[in-house]
Structure 1
Amino acid sequence: MRGCCGLVTLKNEPVPLKGISVEVRVQGFVADVSSTLRYENCESSPLEAVFVFPMEEGSSLYHFHAQIGGERIEGEIREKQQAREEYDDALSSGQQAFLLEESEESGDVFRLSVGSLPPGQEASVCLSYVSELAVEVDGALRYCLPAVLNPRYTPAGSESLTAPGGCITVPAGPVPYSLSLSAQLSSPAGISAVKSNCALSELEYLREDQTQAKVSLAPGHLFNQDVELLIYYSRPHQASVTVEAGLESAALGSLMGDSVVMVSLYPEFPAAVDTPQSSCGEFVFLVDRSGSMDCPMSNEGSGPMRIESARNTLLLLLKSLPLGCFFNIYGFGSNFESFFPESVEYTQETMDSALEKVKGMQADLGGTEILQPLKDIYSKACKPGHPRQLFVFTDGEVGNTKQVISEVQKHAGSHRCFTFGIGEGASTALIKGMARAGSGHPDFITGKDRLQPKVMQSLRFALQPAVNNLLLNWDVPAGLEVVPVSETPRVLFRGHRLILYAQLRGKCDGSLVGRATLQYSLGETPQKIEISFKLQPEQSTGLTTHRLAARTLIRTLEDGESMEECSWGEEEETAEEKEKKKRVKERVVQISTESGVISSHTAFIAVNKNSSQAVQGPLIQRNIRAPMMYKLMGSSMPMMACMAPSPPVAMACMGAPVAMACMGAPVAMARSMEMSDCNFTVQSAFGYSDDDLSNTAPEPVEKEDPMLTLISLQKADGSWELSDSLATVFEKTLQEVLSSMPGEVSDRAVWATVLGLLWLHGFRADLKDEWEFLAMKALSWVKGRAGDHVKLCLDAGISLLGCKVDPQTLSV
């Protein structure tokens, strides 16, 4: 079993995935992606394959086709139930059919059913989607091809699309298929570099002005991790407007029939915005403590465990908070607990109490039930004059994503929500959806990324004066009407890119010019960004802008629908509510079918009606799922029978299905995973959750990072006390430190705090993004206590520590 991969027969003979081909076309801040997967049925019976794959949240899946035996079968959008019935009818009549639908649980998970694949036959499926690219902290655009779909924890009483249900794991063998990925890049802002976590070919420029380029994945890539491309532009803050012509066959006045305009803005804010302006605020940290948090941050098995990284991050956050604010910490899993009954004022006493509890935090709370702690947080009254800032840390394995996002959206007026997806496979729908609903900022930490700098970036956002009162105005010639498709956000941060869509109704001379103006307030100062654009639409954009606009409109309607359902709760729907829900669904189906963009209420159905001969023989169902990016310790675990009375739905990534067989009755089923420091057990025959995850292996003993030791010794007001522990960080004895203290200085804490600052600037300057806030507190404290002796302490400290630090660096 160890060497099997892909679809598996009862005799453990593979029905392999032959290859994956991915083409990425990046235009500005948007990616258009086509993925083709080739399979072959080596069984003696017809096969029905089911696999589930992840996709970036907000992606517009707009095209699907399959090819069997030289026959191309085009997918068509239908209302979801109608598509399911057509699929079942096709299988019943012996026809080949495909059904592609969005998960009921989450908008970033899709399920593809491949029906009646004849024995000995090869099939390929092609999926095309467009997506806005996320902006990283350093300004890079991030494209990610997921290699894993984690099992999503589903609350009791709910059905999971992704959890295989009571099936034990076995180690995965080599991946016997090829992956090719090529990317065509185009931007008037100029392409300066492309980086990746995987080996790439050399970047090849297609134009002298470096506005077009191409790059590809190096041959021999093993698809054992997400493939990430980081794209850097020479002029990233250059605003742009795209006007795209509508379909001639579509009705004028409809979204697809009219021209659509896309405005892309990446504002530069004054440097002062980076400086915290207020000590006000209520900071609530919601930390995942489910079993899966006891897995490594990196798929390579190196680096800290996720829960360890979360503990270190909480230490850094607690030391960086300003005096006078309020805070609380929640841990959640199958249940939840909070450090304090309600948020407490940030003092030395409350900080020490919280840090003691942080040290004992383990990944020991079972599953990943995030909804209940959210409700508990929102049930507590906000502190007057202290805006609430919620920080959520999770590996994103939940099945009730839409309910969670709706809960955040209900309370969007009273808080901001910053989210962090930890590890490969975190749900983009959950992480991005919560941040979007809470006017915050999402971040993903994968591979060897450090969690701390991204968290501190969000803390910087939370402490900034609000960039608010955003208003987008349009100035177009007579005869044109601008109909906004997307809502202007309530809050904008430094480092955020803003993409807005609008429909242009009517006609005018294409040689004329329109104007878009974004107005907003930064603190008390009004700001304005203005950009002019030609109204002549582009004809060769492939409807990318229209499809993204359609997805934006669909998501707005679906979010509103989820909000309504959440507000109804357990009560029976009234006739008026049912009618409203029906109208929303009809509108979503209409937009989806007109634009060809899939939604929660529609699905792609493809039936081979040209086949001259019906597929003969009993139909066998196979579930395909993705490899989990971990490694099992020690020897392989034995296979276990799956006791589910009906075929459980398994998972697979777009690119990397692995061994799994499911026949519906009690038969052998295996789930291939690679894990490190994580063991799995079978909880029951009817469900799988994070409760199955536990860490039984002792963690290796490593020398503590001296920077973490230094940070842990800092007091709430920003100062350090002179001690043996502090001297050890400096690799000195306490006597050496004391004997070097200037005679004019009598306060040991001043001397210790200056040394702490010098050590950070002299030996950890590369990690300044992580310790900058706590250093600001320390410097403020020193200036208030040392008076004229600061310069003496700096000179003596530089001599003692042997570091080179410009006094101006410390604003002295």
Structure 2
Amino acid sequence: MKLNLTLKYMLTRNDMVSLAAGHQFDRDVELLLYYQDTHQPTAIVEAAQASAKPGSLMGDPVVMLSLYPEFPKDVMSSMTSHGEFLFVVDRSGSMECPMHLGSGSQDRIGSARDTLLLLLKSLPMGCYFNIIGFGSSYESFFSKSVEYSQKTMDEALQKVKEIRADLGGTKILQPLKHIYRQPCLPDRPPQLFLFTDGEVRNTKEVLDLVKTNAGSHRCFSFGIGEGASTALISGVAKQARGHAQFITGQDRMQPKAMQSLRFALQPAVVDISVKWNVPKEVSVTPLSPPIRVLFQGQRALLYAQLTGESSGDTKGSITVKYSLAKQPVENQLSFSLKPAEDAGCSLCCIFIGNFITQAQHKDLTATVRIRVRVEVLIYIMEAFRFQLCCPIPLDFDSPAPTSKPVRDPLLQLISLQKASGSWVLEAALAEVLAKTEEEVSKPKPAQVDQEAWATVLALVWLYGFKTEAQEEWQFLAMKAVSWIQAQKVASVSECVQAGNTLLGCQVQKDTLGL
């Protein structure tokens, strides 16, 4: 059962959802909430504190601008195979350390191997790629980037299995210089993925080098473990118009890598400008750094202090301009300078967010941890009735896993997918599906070939049993659907129905994207 609601107003404790009489709770109940006009820019003005002196920070209204862009589909589709992906992986000795201190923790280099498997399987056909391992020295899988195909993917995956934390210390400058010396491929902007668990002594020199080459190379960085330098990880992403990720505690590297891959497949947004248009009696003082990057699927926030009061006009506007795929884009948003009556004070959130942002660049967050109880967070949200507007890292203690699975069936399935997106009907696939090869082969519709049947089965299994990990396998599923459509597979509905019966699922054909 699915309940679909459109969220127009903030839900309160008094809002209720009722089920039809006689519902037996014999299946899952999913409550789906949809925001109206999700991608429209919004501006919220907060009132000043009545007890604060006018002209002071707490004594003036504050405005928050929220951007959640959606790029045109034709622009997004044109980028899917137009890229060069360079995976730069730390192979220093410390990568042998466990991901966390809980029992059953995988070592960092093992997690990196699994992540590279997932990334390689998720790349689009026609792109180019290479993998560079570094420590005291560096090694490239290929002398130069190669076109992504079944052959080159298999060759790379074989080398990934052999990766070890055996290259000594952490020296990133030389492999970066090597990468930047390589000529860029025409119409294939390079996308760097940097994975490291340490820090370097020449951080400024590294960041200067990255900044010099930011016009041609974007960089998506990953800090693994508590000891990763936030100055390096955040700085590299900031200078190269990319995105930084931190994997700490019991975080998993794979979903964060896939989020960055989703960003890397998008065209770069450049020349971003924000203009505040307010009456001449009112001045605007920015409280946050200017927006340097925009990605579809990630919210960008700007805060500003409003000083002064207009005697006449009570309206203001914001004009946001940027260039996307060499095309100019402009958004204008009008807002009232008068704060909403029910807007509470969330300046504490702004201060915390700004502090954390600055601390990351000063490498302070490696030792500063912010812990907030769930009850306190709920109280803040209910008391202020205000969307929390800053990324506060929360550490919630959770029990360590009691045992480590011998083989992850999801990774096992991923390893079996071909570069084109299809699967082969074989014993290894049947093992993932917890069936025998005969049980898997028997229900195949007569007019459907084995490869198409195997691919539909893999999709049904993913959507039927691994929806919680969908962020990790979404690109694999997209490739599989594209392959099925290109093959013009007959009786897809019959295949899906037979797959559901075999696996005990209830996945709809539309859910698969077919």
Normalising TM by the smaller chain, what interval?
Answer: 0.7 to 0.9
Alignment of 1:439-588 (within 5 A): 439-478=241-280, 488-500=290-302, 512-520=314-322, 526-532=329-335, 534=337
Question: Which residue does the alignment assign to 1:333?
Answer: 135
Question: Which residue does the alignment assign to 1:355?
Answer: 157
Alignment of 1:261-340 (within 5 A): 263-267=64-68, 269=70, 277=78, 278-340=80-142
Tell me the distance in 2 between the aligned counterparts of 1:416 and 1:790: 40
Tell me the distance in 2 between the aligned counterparts of 1:507 and 1:290: 58
Question: Which residue does the alignment assign to 1:705?
Answer: 408
Question: Which residue does the alignment assign to 2:447?
Answer: 744
- Deviation, 1:416, is 1.4
> Normalization by structure 1: what TM-score?
0.48
CA contact (8 A) 2:85 2:129 kept: yes
Question: Which residue does the alignment assign to 2:481?
Answer: 779
Within the alignment, does 1:719 sit opposite 2:422 as a pair? yes
Tell me the distance in 2 between the aligned counterparts of 1:512 and 1:787: 60
- Deviation, 1:520, is 4.0
Tell me the distance in 2 between the aligned counterparts of 1:302 and 1:530: 51
Structure with bigger RCO (C-alpha 8 Å, 6+ apart): 1
Q: Deviations over 1:73-129 (max 9, x none)?
A: xxxxxxxxxxxxxxxxxxxxxxxxxxxxxxxxxxxxxxxxxxxxxxxxxxxxxxxxx
Question: Which residue does the alignment assign to 1:762?
Answer: 464
Question: Which residue does the alignment assign to 2:44?
Answer: 240
Higher helix share: 2
Tell me the distance in 2 between the aligned counterparts of 1:436 and 1:244: 32
CA contact (8 A) 2:291 2:302 kept: no
Q: Which runs of 5+ in 1 are unaligned?
A: 1-188, 193-204, 210-233, 560-598, 601-625, 627-651, 656-699
Question: Which residue does the alignment assign to 2:507?
Answer: 805
Tell me the distance in 2 between the aligned counterparts of 1:701 and 1:478: 64
Report the aligned-residue RMSD.
4.2
Change over 3 Å in CA distance of 1:407–1:801 after alignment to 2: same
- Deviation, 1:319, is 0.5
CA contact (8 A) 2:129 2:147 kept: yes
Partner letter of residue 760 of structure 1?
L
Change over 3 Å in CA distance of 1:800–1:541 after alignment to 2: closer
SS in 1 for 2:429: helix
Tell me the distance in 2 between the aligned counterparts of 1:346 and 1:781: 16
Partner letter of residue 347 of structure 1?
S
Tell me the distance in 2 between the aligned counterparts of 1:744 and 1:416: 47
Question: Which residue does the alignment assign to 2:379?
Answer: none
- Deviation, 1:527, is 5.0
Change over 3 Å in CA distance of 1:757–1:507 after alignment to 2: closer
Higher strand share: 1
Change over 3 Å in CA distance of 1:262–1:740 after alignment to 2: same
Question: Which residue does the alignment assign to 1:376?
Answer: 178
Partner letter of residue 474 of structure 1?
W
Tell me the distance in 2 between the aligned counterparts of 1:762 and 1:549: 41
CA contact (8 A) 1:279 1:323 kept: yes
Change over 3 Å in CA distance of 1:486–1:767 after alignment to 2: closer
Tell me the distance in 1 between the aligned counterparts of 2:253 and 2:303: 33
> Normalization by structure 2: what TM-score?
0.73
Change over 3 Å in CA distance of 1:264–1:359 after alignment to 2: same
Change over 3 Å in CA distance of 1:475–1:799 after alignment to 2: same
SS in 1 for 2:215: helix
Tell me the distance in 2 between the aligned counterparts of 1:759 and 1:336: 39
Tell me the distance in 1 between the aligned counterparts of 2:100 and 2:302: 35
Tell me the distance in 2 between the aligned counterparts of 1:546 and 1:773: 37
Change over 3 Å in CA distance of 1:259–1:403 after alignment to 2: farther
| Match among 783, 793, 800 for residue 495 of structure 2 | 793
- Deviation, 1:548, is 9.1
CA contact (8 A) 1:401 1:430 kept: yes
Q: Deviations over 1:540-569 (max 9, x none)?
A: 9999989999999x99xxx9xxxxxxxxxx
Larger C-alpha radius of gyration, 1 or 2?
A: 1
CA contact (8 A) 2:279 2:313 kept: no
Q: Deviations over 1:172-194 (max 9, x none)?
A: xxxxxxxxxxxxxxxxx9799xx
Partner letter of residue 331 of structure 1?
G
Q: Which runs of 5+ in 2 are unaligned?
A: 1-8, 16-34, 340-344, 370-402
Q: Deviations over 1:417-472 (max 9, x none)?
A: 11112222432222221111111111122222221111111111111244445321
SS in 2 for 1:806: coil
Identity %: 49
| Match among 192, 207, 221 for residue 405 of structure 1 | 207
Change over 3 Å in CA distance of 1:654–1:702 after alignment to 2: closer
Change over 3 Å in CA distance of 1:535–1:516 after alignment to 2: farther
Tell me the distance in 1 between the aligned counterparts of 2:493 and 2:314: 63
Tell me the distance in 2 between the aligned counterparts of 1:191 and 1:755: 39
Tell me the distance in 1 between the aligned counterparts of 2:429 and 2:441: 12
Tell me the distance in 2 between the aligned counterparts of 1:309 and 1:514: 50
Partner letter of residue 333 of structure 2?
E
Within the alignment, does 1:432 sit opposite 2:219 as a pair? no
CA contact (8 A) 2:314 2:338 kept: yes
Select between 461-470 and 435-444 the one with higher mean Cα deviation: 461-470
- Deviation, 1:387, is 1.3
CA contact (8 A) 2:104 2:404 kept: no
Question: Which residue does the alignment assign to 2:434?
Answer: 731
- Deviation, 1:500, is 4.2
Tell me the distance in 2 between the aligned counterparts of 1:359 and 1:343: 19
Question: Which residue does the alignment assign to 1:386?
Answer: 188
Partner letter of residue 534 of structure 1?
L
Question: Which residue does the alignment assign to 2:169?
Answer: 367
Change over 3 Å in CA distance of 1:736–1:463 after alignment to 2: same
- Deviation, 1:274, is 12
Q: Deviations over 1:694-733 (max 9, x none)?
A: xxxxxx9952112111111111111112222122222222
Tell me the distance in 2 between the aligned counterparts of 1:547 and 1:244: 18
SS in 1 for 2:510: helix
Tell me the distance in 1 between the aligned counterparts of 2:347 and 2:265: 42
